[in-house]
Amino acid sequence: MKLLEDRIKKDGVVLPGNILKVNSFLNHQIDVSLLDSLAENFKKAFEGVELTKIVTIEASGIAVACAVARAFGNLPVLFAKKHKSAALSDDVYYATVWSHTNSCNYNIVISKDYISSEDKILLVDDFLADGNAMNGLIEIAENAGAKIQGVCVAVEKSFQLGGDSIRKKGIRVESGAVIERMTYNGDIDFKN
């Protein structure tokens, strides 16, 4: 999506460790109209696909997921929590996920009350790099018996191969912007 690519070029900052900082419009401060445009593109890509829920992971995926849910007619948004809270029962699905950004493992959890074999879900997140977070969501969805209809991500870093590994599982992946290369001096190349 050219609008997103242009915004990344204008306001994105490449940090050491292949981290793309997009805090000014996607991860900290949110450009809602940009997310609405992104969500409309995802809706067109998945036109006619039956969905019951949008599933994401906290925290930065929630805004993208809400925009996508609204585009699909206000579907419920379910997000995996990164820490089990006291308000969540022990009856949960969980997966262990490695965070490249924070250099640590953490467990993500979703209550069994909110995902089941009746669900047809679209997995949504802000970034897809190595695929760790998305693979955690896939593991939870598979354990719940939910049908994964596809994956939508705002930004895919194709040089980190997470998208390829998910596609090899037979899961359709749609990305708003696909970065093939980025360098610390700020050069960012997008896939055509």
Predicted TM-score (pTM) above 0.75: yes
pLDDT at 104: 83
Domain membership of residue 165 (yes or no) is: yes
Straight-line distance from the first to the last Cα atom of the chain, in angstroms, rounded to the nearest whole number: 10
Domain membership of residue 147 (yes or no) is: yes
**CB of 128 within 8 A of CB of 136?**
no
Q: What is the mean pLDDT of residues 84-90?
A: 62
pLDDT tens-digit map of 95-119: 999 877 677 888 899 999 999 999 9
Least confident range of 27-31, 136-140, 184-188:
184-188
Domain membership of residue 75 (yes or no) is: yes
Q: What is the mean pLDDT of residues 161-169?
A: 96
The pLDDT confidence band at residue 184, using thresholds 50, 70 and 90, is confident
pLDDT top residue among 49 and 59: 49
Domain membership of residue 25 (yes or no) is: no
How many domains are there within the chain?
Answer: 1
Least confident range of 102-111, 146-155, 156-165:
102-111
Angle at 109 between CA 85 and CA 102, to 5 degrees: 90
Domain membership of residue 84 (yes or no) is: yes
Please, what sign has the CA dihedral across residues 144, 150, 151, 154? Answer: negative
Map residue 99 onto helix, strand or coil: strand
Domain membership of residue 27 (yes or no) is: no
Nearest to 120 by CA among 154, 145, 94: 145
Domain membership of residue 17 (yes or no) is: no
Tell me the residue range of the domain where 101 lies. Answer: 34-182
Domain membership of residue 20 (yes or no) is: no
Instruction: Count CB-CB contacts under 10 A for residue 18.
Output: 16
CATH number of domain containing 67: 3.40.50.2020
**Distance, C-alpha 11 to centroid of its chain:** 20
CA distance 39 to 153: 10
Which H or E element spans position 89? none
Q: How many separate helices (H) and strands (E) can be counted in the chain?
A: 5, 10
| DSSP letter string, 36-67 | HHHHHHHHHHTTT---SEEEEETTTHHHHHHH
Exposed, middle or buried: residue 89 (CB in 10 Å: 0-12, 13-18, 19+)?
A: exposed
